[in-house]
Chains A and B, each alone.
Chain A
Amino acid sequence: MTTTVVLVPPAGSWDAPALTIEVARGLAASLPAAVAITWWAPGAEDAWLAAHDLTATGLAGRVAVARDTTPPPATVTVHTGLAALDGRSADHGRPDRSSAVGIGRDGVGPFAVEDLVAVVSGMVADATDV
């Protein structure tokens, strides 16, 4: 089964700032290519904004954009909003009980993209070992 990291920004990306593109860039640099990275962006505008950032950073071939209204299957769910409560509730009631992590929680400080990337990389390594 493919190990998949799903990035979850808050809904309404135009007005709801998030660190998704920097997190995506950090994870693309640190995770093995076999680990899939998916940016969950339901809604036409959020999907357009995600695709714009990925194209601008040359990551369009590495990070997929998921437009479905239901969150995609995840090994690790990463909330990329600025605060602990930001983000769609992708990790609540999920049948696969995936691990979740985010800014302002799980020991990751505010705006601490590098720390978040390190935590996710560790979680992915653990999941892969299992």
Chain B
Amino acid sequence: MGDPAGAAHHMLTVLPSAERTGPGVMALDLVRWLHRERPGWSHSTLFVGAGGDLDADFAAHGPTLVAGPDAPFREGRRGSRRPLNAVAHRRLRRRLAALGPIDLAHVHCAGSMRAHPALPAARTLLHVHELAVGLDLHLGPVARRHLGAADRYLAVSEAVGATLVDRCPTAAGRLDITSEMADPARSGGPADRDALGCAPDAVVVLMTGVRNWRKAPELFVRTALAARHAAPEMPWRFVWLGGAADGVEAAVAATGLDDLVTFLPHHHEVGPWLAAADVFLLTAREDAHPISVIEAALAGLPVVTFASGGAAEQVRASGGGVVVPFPDTAGAAAALVTLARDATHRAQVGRRGREHATAHLVTEAVAPQVLAALERTAAS
């Protein structure tokens, strides 16, 4: 039996936490879009691990809950914690029942499947936003056991889909691929280099994100050094927005490289930085499909990225940048030099990326595909 077009659902959005991460931002954009396009739907939100910045935004569209210990991570040796976990899941199921009848669960991130045993008798769409780090390294035993329990799956890039099917072969026949999406309003803003402390003639290379092994800030610095070595006449300025101070920042400061590389705290409004930058550089060794790369393309920035995940797929599909093998920092630097030296070429590449992103990667283009996947799930 098919799901009639426009049938109203009570959808439970399930997120790992309410922190302002890519999946959370994407889920919030979707809920806002659904609020406009499907006004008959009602929404509730479950944060599996912890609350955070986005809690109030989701609360504007319906009740929110934080599961905390009621969504256990571990099972213990040989499943020794399973009775305790069952008690926790029953507690969470009672709390969810107080939200009213829920018939559709949109679960973001594989790790959130640790809450699956507590979900109401609703159809479940698992929206996978991660590659091997999320599907192997950080996936807890409870979530791993329930990874195959969703009714349908949505992966944010071809690479994510392949990685998921490799770990969960039963997902193969129930999988759709839709990219991450971005609100173009976040990529706008005036280019005021003065206010950002950038010289008017600087070649500004931007990267945004947390700083840890996955995003590889050390390769960002190595690429900066290689670019300066290859083109010392260029007034390079490499800026990384986001993340807490780390060993890379300390090493840059201790070795007098801060005229070349600047680390700044997270900026909620990244638009002015995108407007001020010349090129976006993604040094992540693994990234499912970062929203920052879509925002950069929407701002008309060429993207230089290592060959990993959705960013590489986006650049290859759009011609809006350069993909180099991981961890070829000299290759990334060579691509930056080519783009920096030829403003016309840079503008052409940026335009291609913007046209592709505007057509395929904005909320208005992607949200209908997610809605179709949700409706297929409801009808499954």
Contacts and interface: CB of A to CB of B under 8 A. Distances in A.
Is the A/B pair a real complex?
yes
B113 to A, nearest CB: 20
Interface stretch (A18-26, A29-37, A61-69, A93-101): A18-26
Interface in B220-239: 221-222, 225
Interface in A66-100: 81-83, 86
Contacts of A109: 255
Interface in B180-235: 212-213, 216-219, 221-222, 225
B136 interface: yes
A82 B132 contact: no
A48 B137 contact: yes
B52 interface: no
Contacts of B132: 52
A111 B225 contact: yes
Contacts of A82: 218, 247-248, 250-251
B218 A19 contact: yes
A50 B218 CA distance: 15
B286 A52 contact: yes
Interface centre among A10, A22, A45, A82 (most CB of B within 10 A): A82
Interface size, A (range): 20 to 34
A17 B213 contact: yes
The B interface, classified by DSSP as helix, strand, loop or mixed, is helix
Contact of B246 (A17, A53, A57): A17
Nearest to B211: A17
A111 B254 CA distance: 12
B285 A56 contact: yes
Contact of A22 (B133, B213, B246, B327): B327
B363 interface: no
Contacts of B250: 82-83
A66 to B, nearest CB: 19
B137 A21 contact: no
A17 B248 contact: yes
Contacts, number: 67
B326 interface: yes
Interface in B292-314: 308
A15 interface: yes
B179 interface: no
A60 interface: no
A19 B255 contact: no
A125 interface: no
Contacts of A45: 137
B251 A111 contact: yes
B137 A17 contact: no
Contact of A14 (B212, B326, B327): B212
B329 interface: yes
B285 A22 contact: no
Contacts of A110: 251, 254-255, 257
Contact of A17 (B217, B225, B286): B217
Contacts of B246: 15, 17
A113 B257 CA distance: 16
B181 to A, nearest CB: 27
A32 to B, nearest CB: 23
A106 to B, nearest CB: 16
Nearest to A49: B213
A110 B327 CA distance: 18
Nearest to A20: B218
Given A56-B326, A82-B247, A18 B285 contact: no
Interface string A37-51: 000000001001100
Interface string B100-142: 0000000000000000000000000000000011001100000
B327 A25 contact: yes
Nearest to A81: B247
A74 to B, nearest CB: 23
A22 B285 CA distance: 12
Interface in B241-282: 246-248, 250-251, 254-255, 257
Given A17-B217, A48-B136, A111 B222 contact: yes
A13 interface: yes
7 contacts: A13-B213, A15-B213, A49-B137, A49-B213, A52-B137, A83-B250, A111-B257
Given A53-B327, A111-B221, 6 more contacts: A15-B246, A22-B219, A56-B308, A82-B251, A83-B251, A110-B255
Interface of B: 132-133, 136-137, 212-213, 216-219, 221-222, 225, 246-248, 250-251, 254-255, 257, 285-286, 308, 325-327, 329
Interface of A: 10, 13-19, 21-22, 25, 45, 48-49, 52-53, 56-57, 81-83, 86, 109-111, 113
